[in-house]
Amino acid sequence: MEGSKLARSLHTLCACKPLAPLVPSSNFPPKRANRNHVYRARSHVPASRCKMNNGDSGTKASWKMRYRIRSASSASVQHISKETEEGESRNSLVSGDSIRRKFLEFYASRGHKVLPSSSLVPDDPTVLLTIAGMLQFKPIFLGKAPRQVPRATTAQRCIRTNDVENVGRTARHHTFFEMLGNFSFGDYFKREAINWAWELTTKEFALPPERLWISVFEDDDEAFSIWHNEVGIPVERIKRMGEDDNFWTSGVTGPCGPCSEIYYDFYPERGYSNADLGDDNRFIEFYNLVFMQYNKKDDGSLEPLTQMNIDTGLGLERVARILQKVPNNYETDLIYPIIERAAELAMVSYAEADDLTKTSLKVIGDHIRAVVYLISDGVVPSNVGRGYVVRRLIRKVIRTGRLLGISGDGKGNVDGAVLPAIAERVIELSDEIDSNVKSRASRIYEELKREELRFVQTLERGEKLLEQLISSALLSARDNGTRPCLSGKDAFVLYDTFGFPIEITREVAEEQGVNVDMGAFDIEMEQQRNQSQAARAVVKLAVGNASEITEGVPDTEFLGYDTLYSRAVIEGLLVNGSPVKEVSEGSDVEILLNRTPFYAESGGQIGDHGLLYVSEPKAKAKAIVEIQDVQKSLGNIFVHKGTVREGAIEVGIEVEAAVDAKLRERAKVHHTATHLLQAALKSVIGQETSQAGSLVAFDRLRFDFNFHRPLSDHEISEIEGMVNRWIGDATSLHTKVMPLADAKEAGAIAMFGEKYGDQVRVVEVPGVSMELCGGTHVSNTSELRGFKIMSEQGIASGVRRIEAVAGEAFIDYMNVRDFQMKHLCSTLKVKAEDVSSRVESLLDELRTARNEVSSARAKVAVYKASMLANNALSIGTSKTIRVLVEHMDDIDADALKSAAEHLINTLQDPAAVVLGSSPGDGKVCLVAAFTPGVVDLGIQAGRFIGPIAKLCGGGGGGRLNFAQAGGRKPENLLSALEKASNDLVSILSEKVC
């Protein structure tokens, strides 16, 4: 299909209708720094307002063309309530920020500790993203960590992608949202939770009691009684519901319990009869109270928990919708300003837009909000894990924006990135959600810009692929006498890999008379949806062996900052995860001690190695255990993993614990070097770079950081020089413990992946670095001796990795390099300073020799081809076509290509040549070359050679007249060439006879 046809198809699809000029409304939403106003239509404007990008003349498909926008007259009006219909005040609406503050202040005044929101990147390895307010308290609910406070309250940032297809289509689904929660850890229970929830809802938020409905678990008579007899809810507004709706469980086993929910009624005039709380048009559930009182066992039975807990969640966006009297969560002041910015860039009026346009704007508002907070928390776009979630959301925003006609950065640069312009509004609203977002703004903008511009290039490649697929579908249909159809799999590749909306694919294809197999496309979509439920709303908890094993075992006292030796008592032994009383020689074992000098892996630093001794009274060794790793588990209990080398050990005996001093010194050196490296990176490439992971090992350090390009040789040299100067300064380190708030106020930065309590350990290299860190460090920078970067490379989009050495590892590394250089000098017979020039000279000689060999091989191949030209078959009577299919022995791919080119020039048009060879190492080379006369008959070299190559365990393709392929089964080459000959003769005979 010609490019101009595709361009005309897109032009038809993207044709714009005239829009009304945009003027600010004076009544909603409430003004926020004179920015947050809604645009309303007043009169029509010229069609030129909805224009294509300059230079797009219709000769090429372009995503810069505007998508058609339905006229304002088609906008739908949603009935909300009588109050809204009567125009009740939208000017006096309570803000989302004030709702959050009021919730936290309410529970703080009732003895709850206000705790900060945890990161969207959870410590819990069973969950990809933070999906619930209770996640940071999971170890407490499991009994694996002691409670720090009896009751707490939070405003938790959450991400869920299991309902991503519903975003914008319903009034309440989001990917990013805030969950306000109050928690009790074995303190208060149902009565207090219910009464406080009611007081907060009806008095603090002043929601009319007659509009509130309650659901309880069908068997929870206690909760029903509290709601009815104490709170005073009429029985008609309390619904008993089944296990699917009102019994919270984490999985097949673990803590669980009934829950009770509070619903708001938008239409109380409809009465009690046949009221269905599942009716989203009438009700919205905004507060969920989970009464965690049971443990579900393997057999499904329930046993009471010894410590009953409260876990609640109040959806901030939902409460804001209710209090601000708007049709959906998106039109609150938490999200609407973002939607407003997107509407400005699309030059549309949200208030007068049709439902499709409104949905698109909601998707943009929701997804860009999620992306900004994810990037702020250190997640960068990639093709795996959390990064894939970010990349998918970004791509959907870009696709959706372009369907609305958004292009450019909103500042006149039509080729610029639009996402930073929308993200700017998200960041403006972030102050009370996460104070760190503004300080990370430059990095957020850079990530968004880079990802968007890269994806736009992918979209352009998608346009070309669509054109090719439509051409192939038309050609195949003509050959087979069928109706042209684009496969669902191809349409899905366009959608998933190239970001091509299915609407565009269908419109463009149908313009050319090509159907799209939507059934197969839907199957592909469903399979992908099932595979990408990465951040699903499930929090796995388990109560079982872990709590039984550690019952009665106190937290391990860590002595390793001050000593490498101590006496300790064995509190527990585990073999293959099961507790035992005694372990004999030769057994692998996990040992729990009451105190230890061994450092447990955390903050990137690996666990110590060493020995445990059990001695007789006369100091004669009775048992020796070699410790190979130490992990921190089940709260703050250290698990020493090792092997009993001599004797036997048992629970309750005293041991002597000794850390391997040399290995500890290597770890200390590398941990301090990591701090210096981070400081140098920030100095050389910018303060916005941040840590994305680390490893502190005995033989090296590894440091991952967020940056968008490789470091130059000059930058690496500068970083090395800076760290080595700090080492030479012989600066003493300062270590102290202080409140977390004071440490942050002093400017200390956190180590990636580390969790901090109220009191934190601060490691400072005066004038260089100050970090929160629980790792072990040298006392003076001079102990590092030297620092060398071994490698710098990219490991994911926007993430770089440095591996380096210091201390003894630095000496080892330099010694090996010196030995290698001396050996190289000896081999080349040159001085060290002449090695580079000598190697370059040898490479030049090698390239010249290879070119000569390649030229000779090509000449031999052409000579062989000349000898084979007479073997060509003649097909047809009225029009003779020459066909030659031959095995060319062991010549390589380049020589095979030269032979095919010679033959196709030698044989008269029309002619078809297919050659194959086996150059060795289990390889197969194939070439197909067709003259114009053969191509005009509808036979393409690229499509022909592919099936032949598959017979040889490979594949390939190319142009209409020339294609190359390869394979890994040379034993099949002769039969594959025989098939190629038969197929060519058969096809061409039909064409010319």
Question: What secondary structure letter does DSSP report for 601?
Answer: B
Long-range contacts of 92-98 (CB under 8 A, 24+ apart): 93/29, 93/30, 93/323, 93/324, 93/325, 93/333, 94/205, 94/320, 94/323, 94/324, 95/30, 95/333, 96/316, 96/317, 96/320, 96/332, 96/333, 96/334, 97/431, 97/432
**How many angstroms separate the first and last alpha carbons of the chain?**
28
Q: Which residue has the tokens 């300073």?
A: 833
Residue type, 222: E
Q: Is 174 helix (H, G, I), strand (E, B) or coil?
A: coil
Is the Cα torsion angle 248, 251, 256, 257 positive or negative in sign?
Answer: positive
Tokens encoding 741: 């708030």
Helix boundaries (H) for 281-412? 316-324, 336-346, 355-376, 385-403
Dump strand ranges (E) for 52-91.
none
Please give the Cα distance from 256 to 19 (Å, whole number).
54
Is the Cα torsion angle 46, 52, 55, 58 positive or negative in sign?
Answer: negative
Largest CA distance in the chain: 110
Please give the Cα distance from 704 to 607 (Å, whole number).
20
Angle (deg, nearest 10), helices 502-511 and 488-496: 130
Where is 169: in which H helix or E strand? Answer: none
What's the alpha-carbon Rg for the chain, to the nearest Å? 35
- The answer to whether residues 841 and 835 touch, using CB atoms and an 8 Å cutoff, is no
Angle (deg, nearest 10), helices 3-13 and 441-480: 120
Angle (deg, nearest 10), helices 385-403 and 441-480: 70
DSSP 517-570: -HHHHHHHHHHHHHHT-TT-S------SHHHHHTTTPPPPEE-TTT-SEEEEEE
Q: Give residues with Cβ within 8 angstroms of 868, minimum separation 6.
A: 884, 886, 903
Write b or e for each residue in 123-134: b if 16 or more Cβ atoms lie within 10 A of its Cβ, otherwise e: ebeebbbbbbbb
Q: Which residue numbers belong to the known binding site? A: 671, 675, 773, 777
- Residue 585, class by beta-carbon neighbours within 10 Å (0-12 exposed, 13-18 middle, 19+ buried)? middle
Please give the Cα distance from 824 to 835 (Å, whole number).
8
Please give the Cα distance from 900 to 902 (Å, whole number).
5
Please give the Cα distance from 322 to 311 (Å, whole number).
23
- The answer to whether residues 449 and 411 touch, using CB atoms and an 8 Å cutoff, is no
Write b or e for each residue in 293-315: b if 16 or more Cβ atoms lie within 10 A of its Cβ, otherwise e: bbbbeeeeeeeebebbbbbbbbb
Write b or e for each residue in 439-462: b if 16 or more Cβ atoms lie within 10 A of its Cβ, otherwise e: ebbebbbbbbbbbbeebbeebeeb
Q: Which residue numbers belong to the known binding site for Zn(2+)? A: 671, 675, 773, 777
Tokens encoding 221: 């008579």
Q: Is 78 helix (H, G, I), strand (E, B) or coil?
A: coil
Least Cα distance to 487 among 542, 524, 531, 446 occurs for: 524
- The answer to whether residues 9 and 507 touch, using CB atoms and an 8 Å cutoff, is yes
- The answer to whether residues 223 and 260 touch, using CB atoms and an 8 Å cutoff, is yes
Question: What secondary structure letter does DSSP report for 605?
Answer: B
Please give the Cα distance from 14 to 882 (Å, whole number).
48
